[in-house]
Structures are given as C-alpha cells and as structure tokens.
C-alpha cells in the first residue's frame, strides 16, 4: 500500500543522495545546471576515492531500506534509478578502478570542467560568477593532475595515444580561448590570468608526462574482460536482455538488412551500371552489387567548408516532413539549437554528438556537434566525406536532432511530470534507442520516398547499430591469448567495411572508439530493440486509434528512462496492455 509518509521520507533521501553524487562530481553538476559546486573540481586522490566509496555505501543502505511497496510507481522508478547509479559508481571505483587505468577520465574532467562553465551567450549576466568559478577550478588543475600521475599505472598504449592527441584541445583552451573570456569580468582578470598560468603549466607538464613517462610504467590492458564487461553492461543498459541474446539478435538483424539492401540496390545497379553483369550469389552478390551502388551514391557529399551549412538544409527538410506527418510536437524555433564543431577534446571519439542543455536549466544552449576534419590528411577527408555523404547526413541529423536526441531531450527536460532524477540520471539506452527507431520510422512513413538511394544509405547506417553491439562485446570479452589486438581490429574492419559498406576512415575510428570506451556502443542496438517493441505494442493496443504525435509526446514525457521503466509507466496509464 502506498504510504504518504514513506513517500515524503524517500523524497528527502533522494534529494540528499543526488546532492551527494553531484558534490563528488562537480563537473557533472555544472553540466546539469546545478551550480552549488561550480567552484570545485573532482578529487581523485586516494583518500578522496575512499571517502566517495563510503558516501556511496551510506546512501545505498539508506535507499535500500525504503520499502518500495509503500511508494507510488513514479517514486519506485526514481528509487531504482538512484540505486543503479550508486551501485554503478561503486562498481567503477572498487572493481573497474577507472581512475587507475583510464587517462580519458582525467582528460574529460579537464575539458568538461571548463566547457560547461563557459557555454553562455555573449550577453549573459552570469559571466562574472561563472568566470570566478572557472578561476577556482583552474587553481585545482595541478592537484587533479598530480593525482593522475600518482594513480595511473600500466595504461594501455591505445588509451595513451588517444589522450595525448585529445589533451591538445585542453591546452588550446588555456592558451587561446580562456584569455578571450576575461573581457566578461575585467575586475577579475588579474586573478583569472594567474589561475590560467598555473593551470597551463600543469597541463603542459602533464602532456609531457603522458608522452614521455607514462608509457615507461608498462603497457596495461584496454579490454575489460568478460566478467567486468558483462557487469558494466547491466548498469549501462538496465535491460533484461543477456549478452548472448543481444549477439544473436544483432547477427539476425545484419543478415536481414543486407538482404533488404540488395533488393534496393538491384534496380539502381541496373540503371547506373548496365554493362556490369555479376554472376555472384548470396553474400558475394550483396557485397559486389550493393558495394558498387553505395560507392556511386557516396560521390554526392559536402565539402569540408560546406558541411555545417548543408546540415542546416537537411534540418529544414526533415522538420517540414515531421510537420506534414504530425509525427511529434517540435520545440519552438527560438529554443536555441546550434550546429557547430565538436569541442576538440572530444574529437576522434565520434563524428557527431548532441549536447543537451542542463537538466536544471533546460532553456540554455543545445548543441548539435559535428567533428571537424581540419588538419586531417586529404585521403582521410575524402573518406570521411564519402561516408557522411548527403544521404548519410540526413540519417545522422534525424538521429541527433529531429526527432532524435534534440527533440527527445526537449520533451524530457521540459516535462512537468518527470522528476529531476528522471532528468539527471538519463538512460543512454532510451536516448539512443529512440534516435535509431526514429530513423526507421521516418523512412517507413515516407521520408524521401522518391529517393531509393536515400533509403539504401539509411539501411547502411542502420547496420551500424547491431555491428556496434557485436564489436563492443567481442572486443571486451575476447581474451588476449585467443585474439590479439591486430586480429580483433582486422575482424572488426572486415565486418564494418565488407559487410557494413563503411569507409575505411569511419571503421578505423570505430575500432578506436571501441578500445577507449566500453558498453556505450551496445546502447544503440539494445535501445532500438526495446523501443521498437514498445512502439509496436502501443500500435497494437491503440489499433485504428493510434496517433503518432499523441503517443510520441507521451512516450517522451516521462524523462530519459531505461525502456523497461518507460514500459511500466505506460502500462500503468493504459497506453500499453500489460
């Protein structure tokens, strides 16, 4: 039986728990618009790590003691979200121990701790306060990097190489971007400049240490191993699907999509290559016919200089279609979405990101980030632009912006019914699953109906999701004595380039991403499977009364929750039959 006093008690505990989490992670707090800890920076000294473990355990015990049966469904979901966050944090600190093996952790803190304090409009009145906090954080850079030098032992050369390159963007911020910001608080300029000089010296010294001294501590392992990877996967996905089920479904999806691509490609091949007669059958025919057609389609692409402007054109086309189909309620035109280059310290990890506004400040800037090719070799640039041709960029824009991540987060963060826990503790499984599902739904609903080449590229893009899941699993669960790094990379390149028709530059980037991250690449496919199942069940429940905008608005109103939690809320409201 639901009990009001238990609910009120839980609310107090939940608020205290979230505050404790954000106090331990002040950069994350700032990113969420929770400015209580803007003056602070993550402390990864051994004593601080031990203190964080004690804090997590204490809050875990308090929340576990609350009788879930006495809470309403919304609070039960919040309880499960908070418990998962605490258990996941303890797992990372006690078992994975990222702070001892993963230098990207420190790189991200350096980059995000400055980025989220300075994502303000030029005329924003908060500049003096934010710059004061920035100065305090810069003063703490030397201590953070001293902890990095103390903690990091036997790091994988793959991770060192990635961070050496990515950390140059942090140096660029301190050397060039930061001094330009002092104009917003001239009375603080002297103190800010002193803090900048201290931070710059520390980051330069750290860069030299990464390049010259960390490798001498011995080569570590980037693979998590089956036990740790499967455990981390549970925390990341919050799904009931097992790794074996995921792999089986992924392989089935790849086979089905490749056959569908052949059926689309055959008439295009006959039209474009009338003199090419291929006698291959089965998988070989798919590889040859689809491959030739995709190479032809990929010739239509932006230039490095026109890419961002072309994306703006794709956005206009997609929004027009969404309005025609009454697919979903769109954010207002003045909501503040910008298309801009990805921050340098994240460069090389993915081609595009959506950076949502803070959960506590949903009115602030929203960024659709696209990685730059500036300074890259000409052959890389051409490969990149062929992979992200005009049609691929439409699928990517559907995924990242309309009606994918941008629209989804706009609904979630402006929802009057979603608690702050449902907004802050966002599920990548839901977010990526919704975005991948949207790609499929729009093309099924007639987007670019007169462009079979667009649909073919969409299906090529869709192949990435199951392939991502297979790569994530195979990379982190295969023992080194069974397959070397080179053998794993060769297998993945064959999967992506031959079976997935990806350009070499894209596939190499994915190999690197799979090595420097874990479990996130599985969220696309698992999220898609679970969100597609919910969507199909809603259609079956409503029958002829199903209306896309009504359902999609409802689906996104609960916050960015694990799909199984969204299912329970939809069942309670009768939108799905249990």
The alpha-helical segments, DSSP class H, found in 273-375 are 282-285, 291-297, 307-325
Coil vs helix vs strand at 355: strand
pLDDT band at 346 (very low <50, low <70, confident <90, very high): low
Q: What is the pLDDT of residues 83-108, one digit of tens each?
A: 999 999 999 999 999 999 999 999 99
d(CA 263, CA 285): 11
- pLDDT reading at 164 higher than 70: yes
Whole-model pTM: value is 0.96
pLDDT band at 348 (very low <50, low <70, confident <90, very high): low
pLDDT at 373: 81
- pLDDT reading at 204 higher than 70: yes
- pLDDT reading at 219 higher than 60: yes
pLDDT at 376: 84
In this prediction, residues 406-432 reach a mean pLDDT of: 97
Neighbours of 47 (CB within 10 A): 8
pLDDT band at 344 (very low <50, low <70, confident <90, very high): confident
Region at 225 (left for phi over 0; alpha for psi -120 to 50; beta for the rest)? left
d(CA 464, CA 440): 13
pLDDT at 405: 98
In this prediction, residues 67-80 reach a mean pLDDT of: 97
pLDDT at 136: 98
Strands 366-370 and 337-341: parallel
d(CA 231, CA 411): 31
**483-516 burial string, b = 16+ CB within 10 Å, else e?**
eebeebbebbbebbbebbbbbebbbbbbbbbbbb
- pLDDT reading at 254 higher than 80: yes
- pLDDT reading at 349 higher than 80: no
Q: What is the pLDDT of residues 293-335, one digit of tens each?
A: 999 999 999 998 999 999 999 999 999 999 999 999 999 999 9
pLDDT at 94: 98
Please report which helix (H) or strand (E) contains residue 385, including its range: helix 378-387
Percentage above 90 pLDDT, the chain:
91
Percentage above 70 pLDDT, the chain:
99
pLDDT at 347: 59
Strands 366-370 and 352-355: antiparallel
Q: Which two tokens stand for residue 410?
A: 């706009």
- pLDDT reading at 350 higher than 70: no
Whole-number average pLDDT of the chain? 96
In this prediction, residues 486-505 reach a mean pLDDT of: 97
C-alpha dihedral, 21 to 27 to 33 to 38, nearest 10°: 100
- Beta strands in 11-93, from DSSP E residues, in sequence order: none
Q: Which two tokens stand for residue 559?
A: 């916050």
Q: Considering only CA atoms, which of 59, 55, 77 is closest in space to residue 68?
A: 77
pLDDT at 279: 86
The secondary structure of 437-505 as a DSSP string is HHHHHHHHTTTTTT-HHHHHHHHHHHHHHHHHHHHHHHHHHS-TTTS-HHHHHHHHHIIIIIIS---HH
d(CA 218, CA 322): 54
Sign of the CA dihedral 314, 317, 320, 325?
negative
- pLDDT reading at 417 higher than 60: yes
pLDDT band at 375 (very low <50, low <70, confident <90, very high): confident
d(CA 268, CA 277): 13
In this prediction, residues 199-204 reach a mean pLDDT of: 98
More confidently predicted of 4 and 459: 459
């Amino acid at each position: 039986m639901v009990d009001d006093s238990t609910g009120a008690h839980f609310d107090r505990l939940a608020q205290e728990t979230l505050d404790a989490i954000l106090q331990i992670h002040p950069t994350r707090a700032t990113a969420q618009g929770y400015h209580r800890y803007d003056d602070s920076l993550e402390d990864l000294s051994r004593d601080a790590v031990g203190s964080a473990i004690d804090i997590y355990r204490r809050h875990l015990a308090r929340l576990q003691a609350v009788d879930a049966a006495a809470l309403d469904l919304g609070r039960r979901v919040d309880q499960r979200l908070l418990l998962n966050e605490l258990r996941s944090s303890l797992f990372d600190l006690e078992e994975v121990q990222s702070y001892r093996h993963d230098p990207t952790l420190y790189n991200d803190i350096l980059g995000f701790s400055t980025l989220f304090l300075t994502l303000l409009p030029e005329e924003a009145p908060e500049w003096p306060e934010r710059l004061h906090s920035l100065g305090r954080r810069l003063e703490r850079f030397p201590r953070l990097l001293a902890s990095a030098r103390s903690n990091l032992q036997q790091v994988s050369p793959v991770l060192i190489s990635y961070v050496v390159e990515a950390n140059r963007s942090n140096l660029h911020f301190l050397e060039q971007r930061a001094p330009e910001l002092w104009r917003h608080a001239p009375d603080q300029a002297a103190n800010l400049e002193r803090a900048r000089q201290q931070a710059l010296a520390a980051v330069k010294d750290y860069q030299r240490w990464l390049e010259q001294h960390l490798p001498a501590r011995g080569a570590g392992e980037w693979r998590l191993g089956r036990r740790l990877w499967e455990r981390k996967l549970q925390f990341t996905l919050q799904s009931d699907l097992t790794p074996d089920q995921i792999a089986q479904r992924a392989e089935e999806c790849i086979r089905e999509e490749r056959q569908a691509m052949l059926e689309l490609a055959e008439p295009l091949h006959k039209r474009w290559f009338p003199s090419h007669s291929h006698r291959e059958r089965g998988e070989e025919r798919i590889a040859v016919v689809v491959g030739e057609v995709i190479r032809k389609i990929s010739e239509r692409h932006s230039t490095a200089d026109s890419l961002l402007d072309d994306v703006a054109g794709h956005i206009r086309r997609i929004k027009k279609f969404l309005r025609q189909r009454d697919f979903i309620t769109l954010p207002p035109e003045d909501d503040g979405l910008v298309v801009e280059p990805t921050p340098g310290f994240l460069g090389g990890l993915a081609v595009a990101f959506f950076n949502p506004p803070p959960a506590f400040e949903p009115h602030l800037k929203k960024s659709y980030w696209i990685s730059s090719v500036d300074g890259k070799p000409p052959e890389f640039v051409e490969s990149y632009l062929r992979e992200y041709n005009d049609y691929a960029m439409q699928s990517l824009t559907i995924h990242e912006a309309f009606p994918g991540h941008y629209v989804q987060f706009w609904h979630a963060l402006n929802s009057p019914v979603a608690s702050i826990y449902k907004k802050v503790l966002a599920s990548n499984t839901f977010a990526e699953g919704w975005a991948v599902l949207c790609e499929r739904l729009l093309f099924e609903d007639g987007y670019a109906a007169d462009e079979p080449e667009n649909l073919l590229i969409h299906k090529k893009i869709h192949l990435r999701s199951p392939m991502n899941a297979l790569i994530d699993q195979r990379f982190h669960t295969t023992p080194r004595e069974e397959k070397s790094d080179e053998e794993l990379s060769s297998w993945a390149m064959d999967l992506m380039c031959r079976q997935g028709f990806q350009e070499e530059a894209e596939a190499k980037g994915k190999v690197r991403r799979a090595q420097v991250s874990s479990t996130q690449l599985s969220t696309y496919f698992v999220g898609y499977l679970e969100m597609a199942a919910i969507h199909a069940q809603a259609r079956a429940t409503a029958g002829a009364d199903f209306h896309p905008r009504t359902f999609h608005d409802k689906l996104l109103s609960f916050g960015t929750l694990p799909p199984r939690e969204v299912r329970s809320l939809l069942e309670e409201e009768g939108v799905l039959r249990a």
